[in-house]
Structure 1
Amino acid sequence: MVSGGKDKNTPAFVSLAAGGIAGGVEGFISYPLEFAKTRVQLREKKGVLTPRNPFVVVQQVYQKEGIRAVYKGCGPLVIGSIGKDAVRFLFFDQIKEAFADPTTGTLSPVRNLLAGMTAGVAASVTAVTPSERIKTAMIDDARHEKRFRSGWHATSTIWKEQGIVGLYRGLAGSTLKQASATAFRMGTYNVLKDYQKRRDIKQSTAINFANGSVAGVVTTLTTQPFDVIKTRSQSALGMTTAESTKSILIDYGLRGFWKGTTMRLGRTVFSGGILFTSYEAAVKLIMPLYGGHGNFLY
């Protein structure tokens, strides 16, 4: 729904369904960039330069290992993205209602961030951490042992060897990343839309895509350290958040916490635009079937 008014809210079911569709579309289309970023963040040999261009990484893997290697871990990420964004949009909508000013129905920038942060924690616990763990473990495993045959095989193997703790490796880093990322992404998007509304700037697919891309840039630059720690924690063997943080400092120093920033920027700029435009398009399609006439979440 459009931020900044006392209009009727988008029904919870519509937010949930549209968020899931948007997450699945965004996850699949942008996966090669996510793959490249994850490869860069995983432990590399000292002294060996890592390409900054994500397309170079993808090309190198494709030439050596084929297209299946580039999409290794895509299934778990897409499934996780469907769950993550369904939960994230649903929770943000409901929390935003609770945080809104009772008179105007609007949120201050700080409350926007708090609503996003709470939605991010919910998404991390319910969907993101286990799906990211499987995706990262599969990408890491493909570089070395190559023992995971599929997402299901990776899940069952980790479950047998480490139990539920193994599937939730990196929970702290993942939750920190999701809480901050959702806060900045949704908060920035809403601030931009509120500003444009005050300036009577008509919303369109192009404007929505641009707003989502800007939100993606802000999100990446502010949350990259959490993403790097999470990736190291969720490697094939797995490690604690403390061990992951220590290994990054030993290998690369403080600069290591921003490893893969260029790669992630490439994805978040692209994915941010796709996510929000896909969400609004999905709401347009689902709302008539639902029988409602609400406004958009944003």
Structure 2
Amino acid sequence: MAAKPSQVPIHGRSALLEAVEDIVYGSTAGIVGKYIEYPFDTVKVRLQSQPDHLPLRYTGPLDCFKQSIRADGFLGLYRGISAPLFGAAAETSSLFFFERIGRELVYASGYFSRDRVLPLSALWFTGAFSGAFTSLVLTPIELVKCKIQVPTLTSTDGAAPKAPSITSVIRDVYKHEGIRGFWHGQMGTFLRESGGCAAWFGSKETTTKMFYILNERSATSQAEKDALATEALPLWQQAVAGASAGMSYNFLFFPADTVKSRMQTAPVGRTTQPRTFWQEGKALWNQHGLRGLYRGCGITVLRSAPSSAFIFIVFDGLKRYLPM
């Protein structure tokens, strides 16, 4: 069974060098993907974070785009991108790094030989393993990002509200909630990442395997079949595999991300006790039902297709053609 370049056993290479590649190339791929998806992510967060006790400010993604551009211009959709760029580098490199650790643990269990590629069931597990640990890295970064993306609606002195900066958000969170406050919404991130990354890696590998099988069946000779087993897939097939990964990741566990975004965009320093993950989810369900949990899902799935495709194309290309 063929697999992506990062999963082809490469003898004679140190684990440290492999880890460095995962971090460097994962960071590069994450930054590329973030520039593609960020405006759509801003709209998604604004749709998700609308208060449940007030009339909806946006009627849908297009209305949110129009209102946002009218208020802040197109560049306003990129507000606060510096933190997400760092977050994208940290997230994507962590995903590939922890996924490799997960594969090493599976090999160490003795169930599979190191000279063979892992089956799809094991790769779905290593994806979940990767997402669970990555969530610890990602929650503080996403908390700052979400608070910057959501526009301030009121101002205490009657003047035009000032958009929060990275430093002001960090200062306010630490002042009112301490270090622990940066992991507000961790349960939502954990559920989204562990389940979503199982689907992210698993869907990509499943689609990749399907294409290799189809390509092998179309081969006319054994030599052509042997060549196909070691060559990279055509670019369009890599893109489809990466796109399927992104759409699966975002759709399957989108409600957890919605609840997480609402928790992280709540004002800091309020007198009432912050809601837990389950309390926030229950309040949203009572107000808007299942539809409220999937608010912004369409645009999120749409933007995840090209973003995820580029991430895997860049990462796999760097791993294959620029090994360290």
Q: What TM-score range do you get, normalising by the shorter chain?
A: 0.7 to 0.9
Classify 1:72/1:130 alpha carbon distance in 2 versus 1 (closer, same or farther; 3 Å): same
Q: Deviations over 1:89-131 (max 9, x none)?
A: 11112312332521662323332121011111111102x1011
Checking the alignment, whether the CA contact within 8 Å between 2:5 and 2:320 is kept in structure 1 is no
Determine which of 29, 32, 49 is the counterpart of 2:39. Answer: 32
Q: What CA distance in whole angstroms lies between the structure 2 residues aligned with 1:55 and 1:234?
A: 24
Matches within 5 A, 1:109-258: 109-126=120-137, 128-145=138-155, 146=161, 149-200=164-215, 203-237=233-267, 239=274, 240-258=276-294
For 1:144 and 1:79, how far apart are their aligned partners in 2?
Answer: 29
CA deviation vs aligned residue, 1:225-272 (integer Å, no higher than 9, x gap): 111111111114264212321221122123222111112112211211
Which stretches in structure 2 are left out of the alignment for 5+ residues? 156-160, 217-227, 269-273
Q: Which amino acid aligns with 2:234?
A: S
Contact 1:33 1:267 (C-alpha < 8 Å) held by counterparts: yes
CA contact (8 A) 1:69 1:142 kept: no
Do the aligned partners of 1:148 and 1:154 also contact (CA within 8 Å) in 2? no
1:294 is matched with: none
User: Are the equivalent residues in 1 in contact too, given 2:211–2:237 (CA < 8 A)?
Assistant: no
> Taking every aligned residue pair, what percent have the same amino acid on both sides?
20
Say if 1:31 and 1:46 are closer, same or farther in 2 by CA, change over 3 A. same
The match for 2:118 among 107, 128, 137 is 107
TM-score, normalisation: structure 2: 0.80
Q: Deviations over 1:125-145 (max 9, x none)?
A: 02x101110011112353445
Alignment of 1:22-101 (within 5 A): 22-44=29-51, 48=56, 50-52=58-60, 54-100=61-107, 101=112
Q: Per the alignment, do residues 48 and 79 of structure 1 end up closer, same or farther by CA in structure 2, a change over 3 Å counting?
A: same
Per-residue deviation at 1:212? 0.9
- Structure 1 stretch 230-239 or stretch 139-148: which is displaced more? 139-148
TM-score (norm: length of structure 1)? 0.86
Distance 1:103 1:60 in 2: 54
Distance 1:20 1:4 in 2: 18
Give aligned pairs, total.
Answer: 286
Which one-letter code corresponds to 1:207 in the other structure? Q
Aligned in 2, Cα 1:286/1:103: closer, same or farther, shift over 3 Å?
closer
Residues 106, 56 of structure 1: CA spacing in aligned structure 2 closer, same or farther, 3 A cutoff? Answer: same
Unpaired runs of 5+ in structure 1?
291-298
Larger radius of gyration: 2
The alpha-carbon distance between structure 1 residues 61 and 185, as it changes in their structure 2 partners (threshold 3 A), is same
- Taking a change above 3 Å as real, the CA distance of residues 214 and 285 of structure 1, as seen in their structure-2 partners, is same
Deviates more, 1:248-257 or 1:200-209: 200-209
Give the Å deviation of 1:170: 0.2
Residue of structure 1 equivalent to 2:316 = 280
